[in-house]
Amino acid sequence: MEDNRMMIHDYLHFMLIDLLQKNAEVFITEETIRDNSTIQRLLKNTTPDFVIKSKDKRRTVIVDIYVGDKELNSIKSKYRGCDLFADLKIVTPHNFQAELKDLLLQSDLDYLYKNFQLFLAEYHYWVACLKLKKILFNDTENIVLTALPVPSDSEAHDRDVLDFVLALEGLSNSVHQARI
């Protein structure tokens, strides 16, 4: 069952990466957070899936994709204290459209929704095949895949990500100094 949840989590995670890159958003993922103890300290030793820099002077956004059984309030409580500098979005397979509406264009949300529904249909199809121990005939046409454009200036985007990491480290040091 845990593998099934991880598949759903990973699908939403990679789709969100694709859409954030398409929109040239500056963000860091949990891998970057794990490798940077200063940012971990700022985030109260949590590792959300994404920390997204605001484009239009809104606050930084922390996105945690959650597919477990716990109450969302218990997940939100992990991030208590981060609300001083960031907005928190707990994304689940059931609420991702509502939670991501401030981050993504409506056309991107529609694309994500259609592809996620297709993923779930295929996922449940294969679960059924495994239970029956045979491959079922699938005569339903799939949605048309869309190739998402990749930003052309990847060096500038990489610099923006590095600047964002440095800004988060600076904020972490400021917050740490204020507590001392």
pLDDT at 14: 94
> What does the mean pLDDT of the chain come to?
85
Confidence class for position 57, pLDDT limits 50, 70, 90? low
Q: From CA 56, how far away is CA 87, in angstroms rounded?
A: 14
Give me the amino acid identity at 93.
P
Closest by Cα among 8, 77, 85, 12 to 54: 85
Percent of the chain beyond pLDDT 90?
Answer: 44
Domain coverage including residue 144? 2-179
Q: From CA 40, how far away is CA 172, in angstroms rounded?
A: 9
Q: From CA 85, how far away is CA 43, in angstroms rounded?
A: 10
Q: Which two tokens stand for residue 88?
A: 């928190």
For helices 106-132 and 2-22, angle between their N-to-C axes, nearest 10 degrees: 150
pLDDT at 143: 58
- What kind and span of H or E run contains 135? none
pLDDT digits (tens, 9 = 90+) for 158-172: 888 888 888 888 888
- Provide the number of structural domains found in the chain: 1
Q: Which two tokens stand for residue 178?
A: 């204020």
pLDDT digits (tens, 9 = 90+) for 124-159: 887 888 788 777 666 556 656 677 776 677 788 788
Task: Centre a 10 Å sphere on the Cβ of residue 140 and count the other Cβ atoms it contains.
Answer: 7
Q: From CA 44, how far away is CA 27, in angstroms rounded?
A: 18
pLDDT digits (tens, 9 = 90+) for 69-95: 889 899 999 998 888 889 999 999 999
